[in-house]
Amino acid sequence: MTVSQALIQRKSTRAFLAKPVAKELIEEILALAAKTPSGVNMQPWQVFVVSGETKKKIQNTICQKFDTGTKEVMEYDYYPKIWEEPYRSRRKETGQLMYKTLGITREDKARQKEQWKANYRAFDAPVVVYFFIDASLEKGSYIDYGMFLQSFMLAATQKGLATCPQAAHAEYPKTIKKALHVNDASILLCGIALGYEDKDALINSYRTTRLSVTEFAHFYE
C-alpha cells in the first residue's frame, strides 16, 4: 500500500469486529509512528494502549457518568468557544450526514444520545489508545503531536487495521488518568479506537465531505 492509498482508504471507523489485535502489531505501528518529526526532537508523545478488562472498567465508568450527567473538564480547548462560519456550517453538516446515514431524526434525542455515548466505548473496538502530552509543553508540540497521530493512523491502515480519532475521551481526563495512574503533569489529548472494521455496519458507510484544493490553497509565483 502506498502513502496515497493509505490516505484515501483511512476513515473514522465507528463499528469494529470482536477480533483481538495482537500486541506485536500495535508495537509495529507505534514504531512506524515514532519516525514522526518533532521540534528539536522532543518527541512529546506519551502513549497508553488499553484493552480487555481495563478498557471495560474505564468505559463503564465514563458511560455511567455520562448517563447521570456527571461531567469532567477537558484539560485544553479543542473546539472554539464561539463557532463562526464556515466552521459552524461544517460542524452541522457533519452531524446531519451521520444521523441521516443511521436514520436518526432530529427529534429522536434518545438515539442521538446513545450514538454519542458509543464514543466512550471507543465504538466497541477491542483497543483504545490514549495519547497524553506533558503539560509544560506549548503549541509547537501540539502541532508535532498531530503529525504523530496521523502517522499512527496511516500505519494502522497499511497494516489492515481501522481507526477513529476521538477527542471525546478527553472529556473525562480524571477517570482515565486515575485508571492508568497518570498524574496531572500530563494532559490527555485524545483517544484512538483501534481494531478491525466491521464492513457490514451501516455507520461505516458514513463519509464526511472534503474541500477541493482550489477552495483552501493559494498559489503565488
Give all strands of the β-sheet with 186-195 in edge-to-edge order: 46-51, 127-134, 186-195, 162-166
**pLDDT score for 125:** 98
31-35 long-range contacts, Cβ below 8 Å, gap at least 24?
Answer: 32/151, 32/155, 33/148, 33/151, 33/152, 33/155, 35/151
In this structure, is residue 62 part of a structural domain?
yes
Count structural domains, the chain. 1
In this structure, is residue 182 part of a structural domain?
yes
CA proximity to 90, closest of 11, 213, 208, 214? 208
Owning domain of residue 182: 3-216
In this structure, is residue 9 part of a structural domain?
yes
**pLDDT score for 144:** 98
Walk along the chain (221 residues) in steps of 10 and give the mean pLDDT of each run: 95 97 98 98 98 98 96 96 96 92 90 94 97 98 98 98 98 98 97 98 94 97 97
In this structure, is residue 221 part of a structural domain?
no
In this structure, is residue 102 part of a structural domain?
yes
**pLDDT score for 106:** 85
In this structure, is residue 39 part of a structural domain?
yes
What is the C-alpha to C-alpha distance for residues 190 and 65, in angstroms, rounded to an integer?
18
**pLDDT score for 167:** 96
CATH number at residue 93: 3.40.109.10
Dihedral angle sign, alpha carbons of residues 43, 183, 138, 163? positive
In this structure, is residue 168 part of a structural domain?
yes
**pLDDT score for 169:** 98
